[in-house]
């Protein structure tokens, strides 16, 4: 049973990484310089910039932001449950 939760946690983490890549691509399209080598260090700053830019453009936060947050929360919860079981 724990392997199912750990598998879901790993897949959700991959989903979050893909969302993070797309967020960096969207920021680059909008003219914000993204440092690829330091993106892990500055990612939460980039995430906040993405949130502010999409909120300013559309009046609501972009879907990639919520997708990233959802994926990371699912990964965290499933990893904890998987380790407990």
pTM (2 decimals)? 0.89
Q: Does 36 or 11 have the greater pLDDT score?
A: 11
pLDDT score recorded for residue 67: 97
What's the pLDDT band for 53 if we cut at 50, 70, 90?
very high
Please give the residue range of the domain that contains residue 41. 2-84
pLDDT tier for residue 4 given thresholds of 50, 70 and 90 = very high
Say how many domains are in the chain: 1
- Identify which of 22, 60, 63 has the alpha carbon closest to the alpha carbon of residue 43: 22
Show the tokens assigned to 64.
């990639």
Complete DSSP assignment for 7-51: HHHHHHHHHHHHHHHHHHHHHHHTT----STTHHHHHHHHHHHHH
User: Looking at residues 63-84, what average pLDDT do you find?
Assistant: 96
Please compute the mean of the pLDDT values over residues 65-75 and round it to a whole number.
97
């Amino acid at each position: 049973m724990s392997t199912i939760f750990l598998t879901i946690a790993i897949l959700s983490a991959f989903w979050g990484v893909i969302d993070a890549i797309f967020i960096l691509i969207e920021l680059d399209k909008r003219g914000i310089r993204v440092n690829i080598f330091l993106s892990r260090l500055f990612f939460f700053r980039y995430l906040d910039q993405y949130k502010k830019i999409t909120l300013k453009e559309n009046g609501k936060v972009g879907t990639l932001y919520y997708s990233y947050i959802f994926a990371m929360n699912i990964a965290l919860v499933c990893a904890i449950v998987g380790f407990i079981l």
